[in-house]
Structure 1
């Protein structure tokens, strides 16, 4: 479906490829590559615009806002900037872009944007997988990825200095939910400050969008390119567009020269800065059959003048559709309005066939084999655009126009094409449901092995990242990766399902989205569809589509196992079906599991029906030891939680296999409102620990939502002295997870010991360093009682741990804030911080920083009697070895306990450039013998390569 797909090759491991796939169920760039390219000779002005030039060239200008009204070419301009930057960026600069698709009724999701922004640097900088392996592993183990977890990983990726400069471009961010936009910008602002000029951000939106005000609140002098005020430049581009398009019409003999000139004149006079408007007029004219005459131009510009707004323009386009094609055009527009994702031409062909009143299976199967692209374009003309194999509305304003309340001035013809949200979903649900019920051979259910082969049980290790939750059932219904997910030849049922999906063109869409459309219908419409829904809920009918969903999701934990019809209906929020099954059907249904899955998915209407159905055994409403109340709390479904609490069926302090209560699960997931509601319950134990002795407040400390921790800290019975089985308190967990805000709150609260050492002797500061979170390290270091001198059970201090971090900013900060004194303190193996910087993989920048603060103690050998230079050479850290030699701080001639010199180590390792460097400084080093009497020169003659021997000969020592 999208062109710039992930090209996974030998460079990526199997687990890395799987993680990248999980981020890219749609294009990681959004709809960028569906945007039309600008015509030659247009948009060049933007690269000379002073706002743009200042933003791109000045390190002190992190933000550029591009604002413009719908239809002015804003997305095309932003896409052209991306293309230009890809060609001209300074080497080493990483470009991350995302273009929000605004042509569907569903707002772009911030989680999908972040997935795309994470996907791009991981593919563009292979080494990031190594640097961020801990965070990636933690995120990979989560079935549901919250904004916080996704942002945390993105922030970490772009914060690594090794990444270099980053340019972030997002188009149509204002199309997202307002609260999500604010959350994104709230997170972006501190990131911009922390990376100190390495990150540039370009956001494109409409002039009145909240994005503008939020950005201005953070960066008052943020650069802003106002397309709404670039009338002259845009007019010139529109003039070029008109000239090229009309000249092409004349050359193609669609109109005569004089008509072409007339058309150019009227378009230039009335364009009013709208590329979209001009394109619609031209497409409307080209839609006509035969030669375009002046009368046709006059008809397109009826009422004496060209329409001065898009609503009038859309009305003209609709009126241009031949009356005998109205019904088909109406159906097609309604499908494009209702789609849950862009439809392929083949899917739209099948849906059009499904809309026929004389439907037969053979007709639909024939539509599976034919796709009439010309038919779509010919009928709707300028109202749609085709991108590769996808059909979309020409612009989001068309969707708004077709679904707006009908004004009195709207013609009857136009009213015919308008539609309410519920009615369009009714038609889509109806068509998808009928399609899934077409006769075809139904394969057996997938084998249990195929469903569980890739599912591994996760458990919390002593120092595992505390925000990795082992709980099942957290489900993201919009996160299905439907491309290339089936294992070839692993399971014949999986292969058969894939073949079915390939053969029946609408199957993937219908299987995935029929319940989505059904749930958005009015109650009366759901009643009309209830017979079909009942049939699709039966085991014999659901085998195909439900099995396909499981296989496509690659995570069986999202779905009930072998569900009966009631469980299935409860899972997909088919309340009409639930009611009918409980009243009309005498089947032996699993009421308890139905309640569990309704709670898991937050399906309140189903829960109310299920709980009112009669006697319920609360013990049966558990799944893998997790109660319905617990899963509702875990997933943040406040409405469902209220209903379950009112039922009084579930123990408020009930624990799952890991010992976690509903409060613990909600706190760990950062659901502040759910936590607040649970705290109102009488008898709730706010300190009840799990099997690892972690309390709810400890879990909350690891959550991305610091407000949840703040809420718990206000409870009078919270015990902050409690520690988990590893000897860690809430502050320790906040530092492990890199939660700077929560860390600040806990330190301000004052009840957590900032120097608490866990069972391995690690302090919260050491844990923050290991989490690679500079903001958290900064918060800890500023606390008056925090001690940098403390050592863990292996003798390592915070500087030692920072020396091993892939982020040199952490070490630099600690060295500048009291840590330099402890840089050469030795651990139990005799290693100072510099040795840990040498430890593979070597950290060159960390070594450089430590040498700036080194004392004479840096030359003290380790417990094995080996000097630091010899250690670097033996561990193949060539760059660090060269740095040590040239530093003037390291004793280059220091011998180990066996009398071997660094030069001898270089000979053994075969490092010719290093040998040349050492001999050039002092040729006599070739003759220093070890305790066995072997000199480096003799060692070279005995074991060295030809190049090494030549290096010794060139040094012209007396021996040679």
Structure 2
């Protein structure tokens, strides 16, 4: 090189995509050249290489070469990476939108939809954007289809990645892909290492660790290449579209290696379920790690370090004769429930795969149990038998780490457990072996219905479970299934001739009430199709399903119910409030607009205290709702409640100045009217210490600032006694008389002095003697 020239930069992009042998040779040549160059060149001129690749290339070769030590990490979990992707998406969508003249709504939809599925994968983003740009169909539905399907060309890329897997690692690749395809969350490297190593020959966790891989990141990246992403200590498929591609049955018909063609949802679930079950049945877990009900202070497995502070040895003479033991009451009489989290932490530390296996084995087994070998089914049954320590251990762990069930899972009946964890084959086996009590069957039906296990629901109904009994919180199987949106369970329950579709659950609410409140349109329609269904059945508070649909803002359900003649849209609950009243008081402007369009709706219905929807909206500061109500020609602006308070009074009492202004602008009367106790809106505003509200009131010519209440006191007198100095200033600026006296002859200044408010005294002196 000419010594006068500057550095020469050579950029090699995506070197890890190259054929491995030639890639390695190239790196060797670059290393040799740079080493020779650094020794021979005395000037500052030299060749500089910028090489980009995934971390695997650097870890497998370059990391050991001195010339390649300089490294810039651009991991996708770095700060700013997601923001950069979002900026790129926004710029490209903006460009496409300009060319296609898309509306702002479509542009925003595309940005949000793509970003939500991007998963930090530029390749997927690039190909989706290209598909959108080329698409001749431009409806929102078509764009949604493009975004949710595998982009054109990406399948070919994934196929190329699969065919690049070394022939001698096809079985390994198949096992890894099954684990990554089936996992419910990204696995840690330690978890994947154990799952990949695990086979039936191992009986202890130690034996697994002894034979596990020493560099699992190197192993998985070397075998699967660009199909996986290792981020920190987590490993996952590079994008959701890889999972979609592997789950597509079309893969079985293309020229993939046999081992790869075996990667499918069922087989993957079976692979991971087998690993999880085998791990939980290791000899390590055949002793109780958690205190049992029989003995709250029983000694836990010796392997557990949680109780390392107990003085179980290493002392001479009688233990109780020694006085230097650090043994407090917490050590001797520790509440077992408090100990559980500590024991869980110890298990997580000593057994890296225990968390995943405990929390997810049942869901994986449920997906594949029909195809599972009999031995695995027997193992699963063992894990659902509380008579075994293996079962008690993972159940206790599950209860601490995934407290999704309300009651204690310890000492549960196996049939209830099988129902809770959707183990259909285990349940069928248990039902064949013994006849459970009616109570057990009914409890099991409740849990299956609540958790959405429709196969279990059907099996239990066939075995004689009673669908109408009330369980936890008074819920029936149908009400709890409806509450949690489990349509398949609702369908199974409704098919039983014994079902009472109107049976009350928690707080007297029916299944329809829960479905309406949860926004479960499909369940609502299915329930309404039942001839016996009462769509206007009130609960203990007098609220009907229509109330709950309104309260949840579920407009489609609201419309469905309103069309039924049997539904009273002006129904009053036990407080006398209607759906319009609740929507108004809760500030549900969009819902209220829909309610006011109903031809039979009563916009002025008063509750038991005489309060109207306008009163509730004003009192709760719902400005938008107040404007909507005032715009209706049916609104009664003069409405007062049982205490003779109007909307202005309620807005003033809560300090809602904006609402007050809207009411005054709309000409609502009663700005200076007394209520049943003689209080005017101004009196309420002064009490609540709202200077802006006070100012808005006294700006109205109908408000008498010197009006005396029934005790003979003025607004200024009360403001001084309350100590609300900002309100005092507003009144003084408006000309309030500082010399007025109460019936006992006390002036505002005297009141201020009595309360030690020198600051208020000074303000009063400025405006009067």
TM-score by length of 1: 0.56
Conserved? CA contact 1:747–1:754, under 8 Å: yes
Corresponding residue number in structure 1 for 2:610: 795
Deviation at 1:546, TM superposition (A): 1.4
Corresponding residue number in structure 2 for 1:826: 640
Give the match's secondary structure for 2:676: coil
Deviation at 1:508, TM superposition (A): 0.5
Deviation at 1:550, TM superposition (A): 1.0
Corresponding residue number in structure 1 for 2:393: 544
Give the match's secondary structure for 2:236: strand
Corresponding residue number in structure 1 for 2:59: none
Query: Per-residue displacement from partner, 1:242-277 (whole Å, max 9, x unpaired)?
Result: xxxxxxxxxxxxxxxxxxxxxxxxxxxxxxx99x99
Corresponding residue number in structure 2 for 1:389: 233
Matched, 1:918 2:731: yes
Matched, 1:442 2:270: no
Conserved? CA contact 2:577–2:606, under 8 Å: yes
* Cα gap change, 1:911 to 1:209, in 2 (>3 Å): farther
1:622 to 442, 456, 471: 442
Deviation at 1:519, TM superposition (A): 3.0
* Cα gap change, 1:685 to 1:385, in 2 (>3 Å): closer
* Cα gap change, 1:343 to 1:36, in 2 (>3 Å): farther
Corresponding residue number in structure 2 for 1:410: 255
Deviation at 1:345, TM superposition (A): 2.0
* Cα gap change, 1:367 to 1:569, in 2 (>3 Å): farther
2:83 and 2:416 map into 1 onto residues whose CA distance is 52
1:359 and 1:687 map into 2 onto residues whose CA distance is 53
Conserved? CA contact 1:368–1:504, under 8 Å: no
Deviation at 1:772, TM superposition (A): 4.5
1:873 to 670, 686, 706: 686
2:173 and 2:492 map into 1 onto residues whose CA distance is 50
* Cα gap change, 1:209 to 1:494, in 2 (>3 Å): farther
Give the match's secondary structure for 2:229: strand
Corresponding residue number in structure 2 for 1:351: 195
Task: Map 1:58-73; keep pairs closer than 5 Å.
Answer: 61-64=104-107
1:515 to 362, 373, 378: 362
Q: Which moved more, 1:657-666 or 1:435-444?
A: 657-666
Deviation at 1:859, TM superposition (A): 0.9
Conserved? CA contact 2:485–2:520, under 8 Å: yes
Deviation at 1:632, TM superposition (A): 5.3
Matched, 1:563 2:409: no
Give the match's secondary structure for 2:230: strand
Corresponding residue number in structure 2 for 1:932: 744
* Cα gap change, 1:401 to 1:782, in 2 (>3 Å): closer
* Cα gap change, 1:370 to 1:844, in 2 (>3 Å): farther
2:743 and 2:161 map into 1 onto residues whose CA distance is 92
Conserved? CA contact 2:689–2:727, under 8 Å: no
Task: Map 1:722-761; keep pairs closer than 5 Å.
Answer: 723-735=538-550, 738-761=553-576
1:562 and 1:209 map into 2 onto residues whose CA distance is 61
Task: Map 1:803-952; keep pairs closer than 5 Å.
Answer: 803-805=618-620, 807-818=622-633, 820-822=635-637, 824-840=638-654, 842-886=655-699, 890-922=703-735, 925-943=737-755, 945-952=757-764
* Cα gap change, 1:42 to 1:557, in 2 (>3 Å): closer
* Cα gap change, 1:44 to 1:950, in 2 (>3 Å): farther
Matched, 1:433 2:245: no
Corresponding residue number in structure 2 for 1:94: none
Corresponding residue number in structure 2 for 1:423: 267
Deviation at 1:375, TM superposition (A): 5.3
Task: Map 1:318-397; keep pairs closer than 5 Å.
Answer: 318-319=165-166, 328=172, 330-354=174-198, 361-365=205-209, 373=217, 376-377=220-221, 380-397=224-241
Conserved? CA contact 1:686–1:717, under 8 Å: yes
Deviation at 1:813, TM superposition (A): 1.5
2:190 and 2:712 map into 1 onto residues whose CA distance is 77
Conserved? CA contact 1:788–1:818, under 8 Å: no
Corresponding residue number in structure 2 for 1:777: 592
1:752 and 1:358 map into 2 onto residues whose CA distance is 64
* Cα gap change, 1:342 to 1:208, in 2 (>3 Å): farther
* Cα gap change, 1:44 to 1:688, in 2 (>3 Å): closer
Query: Per-residue displacement from partner, 1:402-461 (whole Å, max 9, x unpaired)?
Result: 55555676365x8558623333333322332332233436313466999xxxxxxxxxxx
The structure with more radius of gyration: 2
Conserved? CA contact 1:65–1:204, under 8 Å: no
Conserved? CA contact 2:738–2:747, under 8 Å: yes
Conserved? CA contact 2:422–2:448, under 8 Å: no
Deviation at 1:547, TM superposition (A): 0.8
2:341 and 2:377 map into 1 onto residues whose CA distance is 29
2:476 and 2:234 map into 1 onto residues whose CA distance is 47
Deviation at 1:889, TM superposition (A): 6.0
1:944 and 1:819 map into 2 onto residues whose CA distance is 52
1:790 and 1:314 map into 2 onto residues whose CA distance is 68
Deviation at 1:875, TM superposition (A): 1.7
1:49 to 84, 87, 94: 94
Deviation at 1:562, TM superposition (A): 0.8
Corresponding residue number in structure 2 for 1:112: none
Corresponding residue number in structure 1 for 2:24: none
Give the match's secondary structure for 2:165: helix
Deviation at 1:646, TM superposition (A): 4.8
Conserved? CA contact 2:452–2:486, under 8 Å: yes
2:571 and 2:85 map into 1 onto residues whose CA distance is 65
Task: Map 1:283-298; keep pairs closer than 5 Å.
Answer: none
Q: Over aligned residues, Cα RMSD in angstroms? A: 5.0
Deviation at 1:801, TM superposition (A): 1.6
Conserved? CA contact 1:393–1:399, under 8 Å: yes
TM-score by length of 2: 0.68
1:675 and 1:826 map into 2 onto residues whose CA distance is 46
2:554 and 2:722 map into 1 onto residues whose CA distance is 43
Deviation at 1:46, TM superposition (A): 0.8
Higher relative contact order (CA 8 A, sep 6+): 1
Conserved? CA contact 1:867–1:894, under 8 Å: no
1:325 and 1:679 map into 2 onto residues whose CA distance is 52
* Cα gap change, 1:513 to 1:751, in 2 (>3 Å): closer
Query: Per-residue displacement from partner, 1:336-383 (whole Å, max 9, x unpaired)?
Result: 233221011222233344359778643434689977545554555433
* Cα gap change, 1:213 to 1:550, in 2 (>3 Å): farther
Unaligned runs of 5+ in 2: 1-75, 297-333
* Cα gap change, 1:348 to 1:764, in 2 (>3 Å): closer
Deviation at 1:511, TM superposition (A): 1.0
* Cα gap change, 1:779 to 1:549, in 2 (>3 Å): same
Conserved? CA contact 2:277–2:379, under 8 Å: yes
* Cα gap change, 1:868 to 1:764, in 2 (>3 Å): same
Conserved? CA contact 1:721–1:752, under 8 Å: yes
